Amino acid sequence: ETGVTQTPRHLVMGMTNKKSLKCEQHLGHNAMYWYKQSAKKPLELMFVYNFKEQTENNSVPSRFSPECPNSSHLFLHLHTLQPEDSALYLCASSQDSLRGPYNEQFFGPGTRLTVL
Amino acid sequence: AQKITQTQPGMFVQEKEAVTLDCTYDTSDPSYGLFWYKQPSSGEMIFLIYQGSYDQQNATEGRYSLNFQKARKSANLVISASQLGDSAMYFCAMREGMDSNYQLIWGAGTKLIIKP
């Protein structure tokens, strides 16, 4: 495997379900990100981890719970979601999150989430 | 106020023609970086090109070039000799150097369709 992988690619869940999204990067990076992409809206940054420490939580509801056990893996645990949480969830990684303006982020293919 | 504006929600271009995708930005930070990403229907964000605020020359990467007009705060992406595979969403993003959390700020995107 190379780059950034995400599983599952598609997920349909009910509002009372608990599920987790997984992201893995094989690039030796130290920063990982979760983004939410809704139709016709700019990407929304949800969480940032730098060297396994959470450095950003952009006012994300507590029904989204991130976990970063090491620099290569990132999880997003989902619990009692709402239909408006249906979106494409993208994971990204970069060398680290505090490098200067040039800090290319590499993205995974995303998980298309539908909440019924 | 929006920091990244992409005024073209959608564009149709004939194959082999050049296409310009518009991006204007707003920042008071003297140190910043501008990125363009491509998102095919598969979902993955693909990095295309980067321009730093202090770069003297416009960035180029193969068929991609960035028309950087600092005084106008615009960073338009130019794709030369368009191909059918260029059909995708294109996002402009900015990262400010003095921002303590160095988040990428995204535009809403332009959907580009290349016609055969």
For residue A4, is pLDDT > 80? yes
Query: Which of A4, A88, A105 is the best residue to mutate to test the B interface, defined by the most B CB atoms within 10 Å of its own CB?
Result: A105
Dihedral (Cα; B23, B79, A2, A89), 10-degree rounding: 40
Residue A22: pLDDT band by 50, 70, 90 thresholds? very high
CA atoms within 13 A on the CB side of A14: 2
**Across chain B, which distance is largest between two alpha carbons, in Å?**
46
Inspect the interface and report whether the beta carbons of A56 and B103 lie closer than 8 Å: yes
* Residue found under tokens 């600092």: B70
Contact at 8 Å (CB) between B23 and B76? yes
Inspect the interface and report whether the beta carbons of A40 and B108 lie closer than 8 Å: yes
Task: Give A38-81 pLDDT, tens digit per residue.
Answer: 987 889 999 999 888 888 777 899 999 999 999 999 999 999 99
A55 or A4, which is more confident?
A: A4
Residues in chain B predicted with pLDDT less than 70, given as ranges, are 1, 98-102
**Cβ of residue B45 closer than 8 Å to a chain A Cβ:** yes
Residue length of chain B: 116
At A115 the pLDDT is 94
Query: Which of A37, A53, A88 is the best residue to mutate to test the B interface, defined by the most B CB atoms within 10 Å of its own CB?
Result: A37
User: Cα(B89)–Cα(A29) distance, rounded to whole angstroms?
Assistant: 26
**Cβ of residue B98 closer than 8 Å to a chain A Cβ:** no
**Cβ of residue A42 closer than 8 Å to a chain B Cβ:** yes
Inspect the interface and report whether the beta carbons of A42 and B33 lie closer than 8 Å: no
Residue of A nearest to B109 (CA): A42
Task: Give A72-113 pLDDT, tens digit per residue.
Answer: 999 999 999 999 999 999 999 998 766 666 778 899 999 999
User: Cα(A48)–Cα(A27) distance, rounded to whole angstroms?
Assistant: 17
At A77 the pLDDT is 97
Inspect the interface and report whether the beta carbons of B102 and A98 lie closer than 8 Å: yes
Task: Give Cβ neighbours of residue B102 (< 8 Å, ≥ 6 apart).
Answer: A97, A98, A99, A100, A101, A103, B95, B96
